[in-house]
Structure 1
Amino acid sequence: MEFLTRSMTLALNRIYDLLKQELTPETMESLKMEQIKWIERKEAEAENERQKYAGKTHEWVAYYILLRINQRTML
């Protein structure tokens, strides 16, 4: 969530709190597991992109760009 602004983070936290009130514990656990899988997948994709440029000056640029693109698809 390093790319989210403070206001976006607060909004997402409010939404998450509302979901906790409305969803069953089992559904919340399922949501949490899906979120973890999504994070792992986006980080793996970014790492694969970074490795394409390993040792080059834009290695980490490629990594962070892909993280940012994946972050936007979540929102």
Structure 2
Amino acid sequence: MDLQARKLEFIQEFVKLQSEEVITLLENLLKQKKSENNDSPEPMTVTELNTRISKSEDDFKSGRYKTSAQLLEKYR
């Protein structure tokens, strides 16, 4: 059975559920798995990394940055 067929079968079984407790458990599991996946950023390509480095260097040269002290003061 392929993934698409499994999803459809799951949906059909989910629609039949009458237990709010089971639905809540499934919702929580889904939220947990989604947040686990979102914690890991997508890796950058070498080109993207070099572009970001160049922009950061330009920002620094142009004075568009904050010092550690400024950041710490902002969040105290």
TM-score normalized by the length of structure 1? 0.43
TM-score normalized by the length of structure 2? 0.42
Give the number of the structure whose residues are more often helix, by fraction: 1
Q: Which protein shows a greater Rg?
A: 2
Query: More relative contact order in 1 or in 2 (CA 8 Å, sep 6+)?
Result: 1
